Amino acid sequence: MTRQIVAADIGGTHARFALATCEGSTLTLDEPVTLKTADHGSFQLAWQEFGRRVGAPLPDALAISFAGPVGGELLKLTNNPWVIRPALIPEKLGVKDYVVVNDFGAVAHAVAAFDGTAYMHLCGPDGPLPTEGMITILGPGTGLGVAGLLRDGADYRVIETEGGHVDFAPLDALEDRILAELRRSFRRVSVERILSGRGLMNIYEALASIEGRPAELRDEKLLWGAALDGSDSLAAAALDRFCLTLGAVAGDLALAQGASAVAIGGGLGFRLKDHLPRSGFRDRFIAKGRFERRMDGLPVKLITHPQPGLFGAAAAFAKAFPC
């Protein structure tokens, strides 16, 4: 059986749409269309714009990846004025079947469906992800997404979490001082205050204060550019701390979830693909005291697929409504 699906990946700034085709166990994704949420008054209006661009009637099947909790009758995003009422989706959009999953839940569904070509190896044993046990999935982007993928041979279960909001735990004297600086602005400092697009700016400003230097880079895009190309020493130092913290948090989450592997996604995760292998990521990932040998035996992969959210939403649909 072959079925077409509209996959949608909704974030605070962009909504991405693509047609997906499900045929048995095979899932393919067409070229995505990216719309700015600020340019459209609602998800329904963005859906209609996507339909105009496709130039044909849209399928009666919809899979949504949503950057936030998906339980309840009303879905809202912090940085997006859209409101989605799942119960009204069939009436408003004319679809018959639909699924709504958390954005990193969608990434977990994608990991369950990907083959080995969708990853770059970071550290640990260089082999395929295991088909049994837990895989920890995390990734920095606008926020820090965290999910779990529990595999049992041919079947799997996705565990959606808000693990990005656990407390930030400093691991050396400099990070103690960074935490103290961040507490001037935040009553509670979660790891998302560090591991996100805005997180690099938070580290940069804290280091500037510690160094007694002005924080001259005020634009996040310019800061990330200067950090990645090394043209600003303070920005580069902030990026080093970002990568160290990502390694530490990935290791903590893997321990907490009893994972046998880790997959890192998120827009910033992919942006760091050339930097992470040269950073202190691995050292912090395995630095878990008596569990260091165990941590060094976990394969850690970076997701390189360009649209894991869209692909994963379609995969979630295919699991709920087998093709």
Residues annotated in the binding site, as ranges?
8-13
Two tokens at 191? 């790891």
The CA-CA-CA angle for residues 161, 166, 168, to 5°, reads 145
Strands 97-102 and 61-66: parallel
Residue 189 CA to residue 177 CA, distance in Å, equals: 13
Note the helical H segments in the chain: 43-54, 89-93, 103-113, 173-182, 197-211, 220-229, 233-257, 267-271, 281-286, 292-296, 308-320
Find the helix packing angle between 173-182 and 197-211, rounded to 10°. Answer: 110
Alpha-carbon torsion, ordered 233, 234, 235, 241, to 10 deg: 110
Residue 83 CA to residue 142 CA, distance in Å, equals: 19
The CA-CA-CA angle for residues 298, 26, 3, to 5°, reads 135
As annotated, the binding site for ATP includes 8-13
